[in-house]
Each structure stands twice: as C-alpha cells, then as structure tokens.
Amino acid sequence: MFYSAPRDCPTTLLCPHCQTPLHIARSCHEVFMRCPDCEKRFPLKDFISQADAAMEEFMENVYCDRI
Ligand SMILES: [Zn+2]
C-alpha cells in the first residue's frame, strides 16, 4: 500500500480560540481537529456538521485505511 494518505491536512474551519484555520489530523485510531497555532485539540464531532471538502476527503482516506 502506498504511504500517500495524509496524516494531517489543513481545513477552512477556524479555531474557536484564535481563529487560525484548523487542521484535521489522525493518530492510530482517532481523528481530531487541531490548531497549529495554539496547539489545542478538538473532537471531530464538534466540527463534523461544518465539514469542508478537505475534511471529507481526509475522512474517506481514513476509512479506506481501516479496511
Ligand atoms: Zn487556536
């Protein structure tokens, strides 16, 4: 398998604390939103209703990897 799926991808959603664009990122079994500026992490479920195209694509890759 190619090592092509990104582990961290910029999105258009803004950090609730500092308004920096958040990144969507994943660890082994978890996907979360993180702020590159204030280093805070946020649960994905808090942002899923506003998911942008970058997030949709990222999540598709995550689910493919699990199979
Ligand atoms: Zn922030």
Residue 19 lies in a domain: yes
Tell me the pLDDT tens digit for each residue of 41-58: 999 999 999 999 999 999
57 alpha carbon – ligand 1 mean position (Å): 22
* Contacts with 6 (C-beta within 8 Å, 6 or more apart), sequence order: 58, 61
Q: How far is the CA of 60 from the centre of ligand 1 (A)?
A: 25
For 5-29, the pLDDT digits (tens) are 668 999 999 999 999 999 999 987 8
Domain with 24 in it: 8-66
pLDDT tens for residues 23-41? 999 987 889 999 999 999 9
Q: CA torsion, points 49, 52, 53, 58, in degrees to nearest 10?
A: -70
Please check whether residue 2 lies inside any domain of the structure. Answer: no
> Is 1 domain-assigned?
no
Residue 3 lies in a domain: no
Rounded to the nearest whole angstrom, what is the distance from the C-alpha of residue 67 to the centroid of ligand 1? 33
For the question of whether the overall pTM of this predicted structure is more than 0.95, the answer is no
